[in-house]
Amino acid sequence: MDPLYRIDHHGIARYALRRREGWRLLDGDPFGAHAVGAALDTDRPSLLAPVMPSKIVAVGLNYKDHAAEMNKALPDEPLIFLKPSTAVIGTGAAIVIPSGAGRVDYEAELGVVIGKTARHVAAAHAHEYVLGLTCVNDVTDRDLQRRDVQYTRAKGFDTFAPVGPCVVSGDIDRPLTVESRVNGETRQRSSTRELIFPIRQLVEFVTRVMTLLPGDIISTGTPPGVGPLVAGDQVVVAIEGVGELVNDVVEE
Ligand code: MG
């Protein structure tokens, strides 16, 4: 499938495809029956988050180079946590630093968008349940993450889950470069070759615990180089072959 977007089409959220010859609406449901619809009357549609997940299942420490940087042993199994759907924003929307927040960090991550209801999926079959890949910024209040026993508050604020700009289908085993930039300066740059638990294993592990619904996202963890954001910054998560997720940072 061509890269899948969601756009604000005259006040209504619609799925759209970006094709070589221009933008086309998608009629129907990208997770079910659909067809290529009318051409858009603009070259620059207003982009929304490409999917609205019921949940984001995010993975803690999952890059070998990040573990080495932090002097941490490689985990025996993934550490997973949830980010709420209400934290999701699209490219171009602002990350809002809550009043009274401590250090708020960017975390560039590869997101795996689930295409059909998935439960007890074996790693060998994981690709059958994946619609495609996207960029995620697992924005985190680092001070609250340290203070609380678990991550709900630190990673659950509204706007703390930028997702986008689109969903790109293809081989889930291909190695991809994952990068973040703040104000044009590269801060993180690694490859999904460094994943401790690759996509297939994550799909198996997570669906042993819970049902993943169409549009749900597994966020695969962040490479080395996380750092703080302040109001006025622009942060970009860029993934090779997927696209660039761009968000400005503002204060509440
Ligand atoms: Mg993370």
Helix (H, G, I), strand (E, B) or coil at 213: coil
Distance in Å, CA 57 to ligand 1 centroid: 10
For residue 196, pLDDT over 90 is answered with yes
Distance in Å, CA 26 to ligand 1 centroid: 31
For residue 86, pLDDT over 90 is answered with yes
For residue 83, pLDDT over 90 is answered with yes
21-72, pLDDT tens digit by residue?
999 999 999 999 999 999 998 999 999 999 999 999 999 999 999 888 878 8
Distance in Å, CA 3 to ligand 1 centroid: 24
Distance in Å, CA 59 to ligand 1 centroid: 6
CA distance 149 to 152: 9
- Domain 56-251 CATH (choose: 3.30.43.10, 3.40.47.10, 3.90.850.10, 3.40.50.300): 3.90.850.10
Distance in Å, CA 151 to ligand 1 centroid: 10
CA distance 199 to 239: 15
Map out the domains of the chain as residue ranges.
Answer: 4-48, 56-251
CB contact at 8 A, 45 and 87: no
Distance in Å, CA 4 to ligand 1 centroid: 24
Distance in Å, CA 134 to ligand 1 centroid: 14
Distance in Å, CA 109 to ligand 1 centroid: 7
Q: Which residue has the higher pLDDT, 133 or 73?
A: 133
Distance in Å, CA 17 to ligand 1 centroid: 28
Distance in Å, CA 68 to ligand 1 centroid: 16
The pLDDT assigned to 76 comes to 95
The pLDDT assigned to 1 comes to 79
Confirm whether pTM is higher than 0.95: yes
CA distance 188 to 160: 18
Query: What rounded mean pLDDT belongs to the chain?
Result: 96
Residue 252, Cβ neighbours under 10 Å: how many? 12
